[in-house]
Structure 1
Amino acid sequence: MGGRLGIPMEYKSRRGLWLESDESRLPFIIREDCTHEIPTRGFEQCLKLIILWVEDKQLLSQQEGNMFQPNMFDKTPESEMGKMRMEDEFESSRSATDNMEALSGDEQDPNHHPKKKRYHRHTQHQIQEMEAFFKECPHPDDKQRKELSRRLALEPLQVKFWFQNKRTQMKAQHERQDNQQLRTENEKLRADNMRYKEALSNATCPHCGGPAALGEMSFDEQHLRIENARLREEIDRISAIAAKYVGKPLVTYSQVSPHLPSRSLDLGVGHFGPQSVMAGDIYGSAVDLLRSVTAPTEADKPMIIELAVAAMEELIRMAQAGEPLWITSADHTTEILSEDEYFRTFPRGIGPTPVGLKSEASRDSAVVIMNHMNLIEILMDVNQWSSIFCGIVSRAVTLEVLSTGVAGNYNGALQVITAEFQVPSPLVPTREYYLVRYCKQHGDGMWAVVDVSLDNLRTSPASRCRRRPSGCLIQELPNGYSKVIWVEHVEVDDRVVHSIYRALVNSGLAFGAKRWVTAMERQCERLASVMASSVPSGDGGVITSPEGRKSMLKLAERMVMSFCTGVGASTAHTWTALSGSGADDVRVMTRKSMDDPGRPPGIVLSAATSFWTPIPPKIVFDFLRDENSRNEWDILSSGGLVQEMAHIANGRDPGNCVSLLRVNSANSSQSNMFILQESCTDSTGSYVIYAPVDIVAMNVVLNGGDPDYVALLPSGFAILPDGPVAHGGGALGVGSGSRLLLQLIVPDDKWQGKRRGKEENEEQGME
């Protein structure tokens, strides 16, 4: 160490130092280049030598200036850093000295002051050369240091220590920069913290306007508490109302009806709110049930909530119960409800069956390819509900939403709606309901939606139908599937149903649970086809993109909805019988289509008729949907060759598809025509619906354009079985009832001329 005092042995070495000790000396740490050691002459002498050596080093540092930078190491205390800095300075100066002489015995005497060493400053050229080399290689090896020392006329140790000190200097500089950056960031965070604390101290309560007592609560915790309070308030509001009335005896029809306040029957569509689907807006208007009821009053709402809660309990039990409540039929195709067992099990229902009404009850289940939450959303949105079940629901209106449910889902949602159900034939009267719909979650992944009639809350004439607790139980299944159990329980007057459809209605295929379940199953398959991201090879090559495929399916969906709303016996329609009687009559209806981009302008003439054929429904369906047999019955084909240009399958059954047909006219003077056709079938009925489309507009659709501006005037067939369905899916009856709807555009001048001619003929007949 050249006269330097080391570190006691009990400390660990950080720089590869040697340890030495014997009986005559104190333990010291000696560097390998050390040539002298300090003898033990007593503790006071050692301490005095240390003080002298430190003073000597301080004096040399003041004289020579800050030649060397402090040597800093990771996690080194300031005291150790001072020792290490003194070691580096001494060794650098020692290596730079031309004459490095050993201390004599006298110099080792602690009473003798050590000699001052001569220091050698590097020249500017040497410093520049070493700095340039440092930029290229901060850690030179032994060979590079020797080459550099030879070139700069320095000792290898001088070069080694210069690079060591340079690295230490750069590290210290970087640490200072990092510390400054962290200090700036810390000051910024402190300022933000002070600003937030000031904002919280000035916060006011959103309810009372007073100061908000936040205390030491964090911002996130405060946000969660506010959200939880809002959710708790919503749940408590619904639960309190329901709990207030559940357990009290339900008010029967006879008790409530005499005390009902009078209600105005003059209520426009605009009062129903934004959620409304009115087929009458398309096919005319009429003052009927859907326009004759008002939203419930405040006095009615407690009883509506009580009725909805009781109906939900009844639906759950009916969906999960077996015998003796439900009895399987002899052919194992249906389940029959035991009326006696029903009234024993549910004495607190909506009352006995009114005189003149017949009870219809059915239950069915299926697994559908749709997420359970999407099904709940469809059922609780009247627009989506009437679109998905367009073959059953001809019109639906939401009168009032009593509760939207818990935020984020429909748990506890309560709605008052009116709806009209139909069969695609005017020979079967529609069924109109004024009901409450209630949605509730039952455990994890189990939901239920129930409907029950509110006929006791209206002053209109006695209804021909009443809906007891009906609806569905939806259970979540893996991979996006859901299991649906549907219960349909109604009381109706079926005496006005035509004999051709009586067996269909009695079997439950017209309005029963099986029709609802099969319609949901088919629509879920159709939606899955719409959401497909790839274009199957079977699309004929005309459809080249997923966007074009979706646009074509959307256009076909609008065509089917237009057909279904116009073919039934809805009270919004004004049908006129022209000829025949009973099932063979032809009914016509006219309306004017103006300023509607989705329909051709002019007078629309709709003609519909029903007929029975002694042929099974499947054979009739396959014949009508086959393009090869189309020229045998379709006047649009005019005897020409019909070719399928595009084919989109939208269900498991091969008959469920959308096709684009091209009619090659046999007459060369006539241009070719395109026909859009959708065919769908299930065990409750089949449809073949078609409409001529403009070639230019269809090209836009096939390229992914908006299909809402394509004018459509659909025609088609509704094919219904004439009896129950066998276990394998075929009809037990030998025939089928078909409903044909044709729609034509009649020029306004010709229509007026025909009307004048008809009036003149009637006048002559009267004379």
Structure 2
Amino acid sequence: MENDGQLNNNNVQGLSLIMGNHAAWNQPVEYELDALLGAEDHHVDTNQRSDDEDRCPGSGTPPSKRAKRFSVQQVQELEAMFQVCTHPDPRARQELGRKVGLGEWQVRFWFQNRRSSTKLKACGNEIRDMQQENTKLRADNIELKQLVQNPTCFRCRDPAGANQLVSENWRLLNENARLKDELLRAKAYQDSVIREAERPQSMSSEHQASAYTHPVPFTYNCRTNKAALVSHAERALKEFVMLATKGQPMWIPTIDGEVLGDQEYDLHTFPGLLGLCPRGFIVEATRETDMIRGDAMDLVSILTKAAQWSEMFPDIVAYVRSTDVISSSSTSSSHDGLIQLMDVEFWVQSPRLLSRNVKFLRFSKKMAERKWAVVDVSVDGNNGDEQQSNGTSYAGYRLLPSGCLMEDMSGGFCKVTWVVHGEYLESTVPELFKQFFRSGQAFGACRWLRSLQRQCEYMAVLGSSHIPSSSSSSSAISPLGKRGVLELARRMKESFYAAVSGPVTIASTNIVDQWCVSSGTGAERVDAAVRMVTWNCAEIMPGEPATTVLSATTTVRLPGTPPLRVFEYICNSQRRGEWDNFVNGGPVEEVSYVPISARLHGNSVCILRPTVVADGSHGKNSNDMLILQQSSTDASGSLVVYSLVEENVMRGIMGGADSSIFLLPSGFAILPDGHGKAHYTAVSSSSSAPNNGEGALLTVASLGMLSSSPSGGLAARSFDDAGEHLCNMIKKIRDSVGANNVIMA
């Protein structure tokens, strides 16, 4: 019983550990073993006796203030058991209590307190580790922020890591160059294998070895065999079909249409049929699709006949020098497989631009039933080292696989996809026209396709028996007269093209000179570089009198003025007297009108009569002259050409008489300047063209006769008068269309 008293005091001490404030157990407090066991007392009186109530945890007797801790032997036995089992069952607790001299409930409470202290210590250690890790992460975060604000190279501590970035850029550039070199060698090897079968047997072994490492652009000469030309044309056909039929990523859509993806194209064709693009050359690639009135077979027939092809595109094809058949079709009536070698000059309606001279193969192929392809590809192998120029044309142009894909549709129409892919020497283009060429509007697919569309519409009207009636006059025109008027207008337009962009061939007696002319002063002044060309009519047209003709032409740019706005103003019959001196400042009336397109508004041939306003009455002009005028417009540009014709002669042609008369046309060629997408809408007197940043390239031409020698004083005064006349016309047009400036070409 004495021992029981001692145990009761210890029991009260044990109960005080678990019956206090429970909130304290939720705090991350580290408990020491000494604090758990109480004050140290190695002299425990085991003979002390206590009441039975002190042994019972449920007794109301308060625990002794001088609670005694367990002995060292008891704690060692309890710790040893705790290491073996942290949750002993009641039987094990009783055995352990008898062994150490404690009650079962005391052992139970000790194990419970021991487990709680172990958990609290583990929780405290975990919190301490997490706090240390958090502190470390905060320090790393601060260091990284400082590095971002002040980047440095970790190796050399170079500010901003410049050396590291430069080194990485050089590594990528070298890797890119290495891959391109491997691709070039692989393509060269492939080309050499293909060409080995085409080379003559007399080719030396040294030349054979060099062909594997140095790809040479295909070049045509008199020793080139037909097999090589046929292979060149067939490869061009495959590349053209790829360009004509593929979408993205070969063609990338843009706001103004689509552009050729250089990377995708090089992936399929590098280094190409003609080799790499020469230095100083600019790549132009355009594609256009539209419905054309006509049959695919008929269009192929026109494209394969040089004379008809030249007449179909008079505004683009200046001259066809020669045409040789390299490979004919299987049958005489079919054009399938026909390969022609053509030497052609292309032009743009401006006296400031040289013609493009190019020699190419034309390959026509039937792809499927009612589907044809006509492909052009250069054979001159122009590498940009030496450029030939004869004063009127230049050879700095290479035509990569280009052409048209035609497929017959219902309703008498043909779906035509036109592709133009070429490279030209930019130094041959004047500064004023560079954006015009870069945008693809000079010789792009849009210009070819629109010209084909206009000509097909013109041919449909020419073959029709319908005779339109004039809206303002009852003058009759016979079916034969309609054909005569249209043919006369066609020859007038072609003469205008030759006067503006040519002449292609100049006789020794002709004179070509450049005059700088100005009109007005200050802000109203207009400067123009006028080209003066004189020639003898007898040299050009046999049977005509030996009369000297003066052609004055110039080109200016009207920035921010849409071409359609200029075209509408020039075609306004009520305001013609503002710029045309012949009509004496008054309007003109329509005598006859023939539309040359059922789908394209504003394309027509009309006969106009000048009116003279005097005393409130209208009368005929004293010279009894009429004006024959042809106007055409589309997205590629606009044209207004006119010429004076005697009224009795014009009446005879309208009635079916011979239309072979000599005309001296004047007029305007209105082209987009390349600084905005060209828009085309139906022309009406009340409409105004949208201003989307595009401007107009305005070419003005005036032809007249000189009565004396060009070396005389009268001719010099005529040159001045012609130049001043052009400047006055440009100034009137500038003021009327609201142009802010006129830039001289």
- Report the TM-score when normalising by structure 1: 0.57
Q: 1:571 to 1:710 in 2, by over 3 A?
A: closer
Question: Which residue, 438, 441, 445 being the options, matches 2:370?
Answer: 445
The match for 1:732 is 692
1:455 partner SS = coil
The match for 2:492 is 559
The match for 2:419 is 487
- Tell me, in whole angstroms, the C-alpha distance in 1 between the residues paired with 2:382 and 2:695: 43
1:705 partner SS = coil
User: Contact 2:240–2:402 at 8 Å: present in 1 too?
Assistant: yes
The match for 2:319 is 395
2:534 partner SS = strand
Q: CA deviation at 1:365?
A: 0.8
Q: Deviations over 1:670-723 (max 9, x none)?
A: 23211100000011110110011122321221112232x211111100111222
Q: How does 1:590-601 map to 2 (within 5 A)?
A: 590-594=534-538, 596=541
Q: Deviations over 1:617-669 (max 9, x none)?
A: 11211111222211111122233552110011112333111110112356888
Question: Which residue, 580, 591, 594 being the options, matches 1:645?
Answer: 591
Q: CA deviation at 1:562?
A: 1.1
Q: How does 1:208-357 map to 2 (within 5 A)?
A: 247-248=194-195, 297=222, 299-329=224-254, 331=255, 333-347=256-270, 349-357=273-281
Q: CA deviation at 1:584?
A: 2.4
Question: Which residue, 650, 656, 668 being the options, matches 1:717?
Answer: 668
Q: CA deviation at 1:393?
A: 1.3
Q: 1:480 to 1:246 in 2, by over 3 A?
A: farther
- Tell me, in whole angstroms, the C-alpha distance in 1 between the residues paired with 2:716 and 2:294: 55
The match for 1:499 is 431
Q: 1:645 to 1:312 in 2, by over 3 A?
A: same
Question: Which residue, 649, 653, 677 being the options, matches 1:701?
Answer: 653
Q: CA deviation at 1:747?
A: 1.6
- Tell me, in whole angstroms, the C-alpha distance in 2 between the residues paired with 1:727 and 1:302: 45
The match for 2:468 is 536
What code does the residue aligned with 2:432 have? I
1:442 partner SS = strand
Corresponding position: 1:464 with 2:408 = no
- Tell me, in whole angstroms, the C-alpha distance in 1 between the residues paired with 2:318 and 2:491: 14
Q: CA deviation at 1:755?
A: 5.7
Q: CA deviation at 1:597?
A: 7.0
Q: CA deviation at 1:301?
A: 2.7
User: Contact 1:358–1:494 at 8 Å: present in 2 too?
Assistant: yes
Q: CA deviation at 1:314?
A: 1.2
Q: 1:299 to 1:750 in 2, by over 3 A?
A: closer
Paired residues, what number?
A: 475
Between stretches 456-465 and 673-682, larger displacement belongs to 456-465
User: Contact 1:631–1:638 at 8 Å: present in 2 too?
Assistant: yes
Question: Which residue, 592, 605, 608 being the options, matches 2:553?
Answer: 608
1:610 partner SS = strand
What code does the residue aligned with 1:546 have? P
Q: CA deviation at 1:355?
A: 1.6
Q: 1:641 to 1:363 in 2, by over 3 A?
A: closer
Question: Which residue, 577, 580, 598 being the options, matches 2:514?
Answer: 577
User: Contact 2:282–2:423 at 8 Å: present in 1 too?
Assistant: yes
Q: Deviations over 1:465-506 (max 9, x none)?
A: 111111111111123211110110001112342333222221
- Tell me, in whole angstroms, the C-alpha distance in 1 between the residues paired with 2:288 and 2:662: 39
Q: 1:683 to 1:727 in 2, by over 3 A?
A: closer
- Tell me, in whole angstroms, the C-alpha distance in 2 between the residues paired with 1:745 and 1:564: 18
1:364 partner SS = strand
Corresponding position: 1:747 with 2:691 = no
Q: 1:442 to 1:550 in 2, by over 3 A?
A: same
User: Contact 1:593–1:599 at 8 Å: present in 2 too?
Assistant: yes
Q: 1:250 to 1:357 in 2, by over 3 A?
A: farther
The match for 1:588 is 532
Q: Which runs of 5+ in 1 are unaligned?
A: 1-244, 260-293, 760-767
- Tell me, in whole angstroms, the C-alpha distance in 2 between the residues paired with 1:629 and 1:599: 35
Q: CA deviation at 1:413?
A: 1.4
Corresponding position: 1:682 with 2:609 = no
Q: CA deviation at 1:457?
A: 9.1
Q: CA deviation at 1:558?
A: 0.8
Corresponding position: 1:524 with 2:456 = yes
- Tell me, in whole angstroms, the C-alpha distance in 2 between the residues paired with 1:746 and 1:249: 62
- Tell me, in whole angstroms, the C-alpha distance in 1 between the residues paired with 2:709 and 2:352: 33
The match for 1:663 is 610
User: Contact 1:246–1:306 at 8 Å: present in 2 too?
Assistant: no
User: Contact 2:249–2:264 at 8 Å: present in 1 too?
Assistant: yes
Q: Deviations over 1:502-527 (max 9, x none)?
A: 22221111111111111111111111
Q: 1:726 to 1:756 in 2, by over 3 A?
A: closer
Q: 1:366 to 1:738 in 2, by over 3 A?
A: same
User: Contact 1:598–1:711 at 8 Å: present in 2 too?
Assistant: no
Q: 1:634 to 1:457 in 2, by over 3 A?
A: closer
User: Contact 2:250–2:264 at 8 Å: present in 1 too?
Assistant: yes
Q: CA RMSD in A?
A: 3.3
What code does the residue aligned with 1:473 have? L
- Tell me, in whole angstroms, the C-alpha distance in 1 between the residues paired with 2:421 and 2:663: 37
- Tell me, in whole angstroms, the C-alpha distance in 2 between the residues paired with 1:696 and 1:758: 29
- Tell me, in whole angstroms, the C-alpha distance in 1 between the residues paired with 2:651 and 2:676: 43
What code does the residue aligned with 2:702 have? L
What code does the residue aligned with 1:516 have? W
What code does the residue aligned with 1:547 have? L
Q: 1:357 to 1:570 in 2, by over 3 A?
A: farther
What code does the residue aligned with 1:608 have? T
- Tell me, in whole angstroms, the C-alpha distance in 2 between the residues paired with 1:509 and 1:493: 16
- Tell me, in whole angstroms, the C-alpha distance in 2 between the residues paired with 1:378 and 1:727: 29
Q: 1:686 to 1:727 in 2, by over 3 A?
A: closer
Q: 1:420 to 1:570 in 2, by over 3 A?
A: farther
User: Contact 2:327–2:337 at 8 Å: present in 1 too?
Assistant: yes
Question: Which residue, 284, 288, 299 being the options, matches 1:364?
Answer: 288
- Report the TM-score when normalising by structure 2: 0.59
What code does the residue aligned with 2:234 have? V
What code does the residue aligned with 1:603 have? T
- Tell me, in whole angstroms, the C-alpha distance in 2 between the residues paired with 1:600 and 1:629: 36
2:488 partner SS = helix
- Tell me, in whole angstroms, the C-alpha distance in 2 between the residues paired with 1:301 and 1:677: 48
User: Contact 2:709–2:715 at 8 Å: present in 1 too?
Assistant: no
The match for 1:194 is none
Q: 1:725 to 1:570 in 2, by over 3 A?
A: farther
Q: 1:731 to 1:302 in 2, by over 3 A?
A: farther
Q: CA deviation at 1:412?
A: 1.5
Q: 1:393 to 1:728 in 2, by over 3 A?
A: closer
What code does the residue aligned with 1:585 have? A
1:355 partner SS = coil
Q: Deviations over 1:58-85 (max 9, x none)?
A: xxxxxxxxxxxxxxxxxxxxxxxxxxxx
User: Contact 1:599–1:710 at 8 Å: present in 2 too?
Assistant: no
- Tell me, in whole angstroms, the C-alpha distance in 1 between the residues paired with 2:629 and 2:680: 28
Q: Which runs of 5+ in 2 are unaligned?
A: 1-191, 208-218, 389-394, 519-525, 615-619, 682-689, 720-745
Q: 1:380 to 1:355 in 2, by over 3 A?
A: same
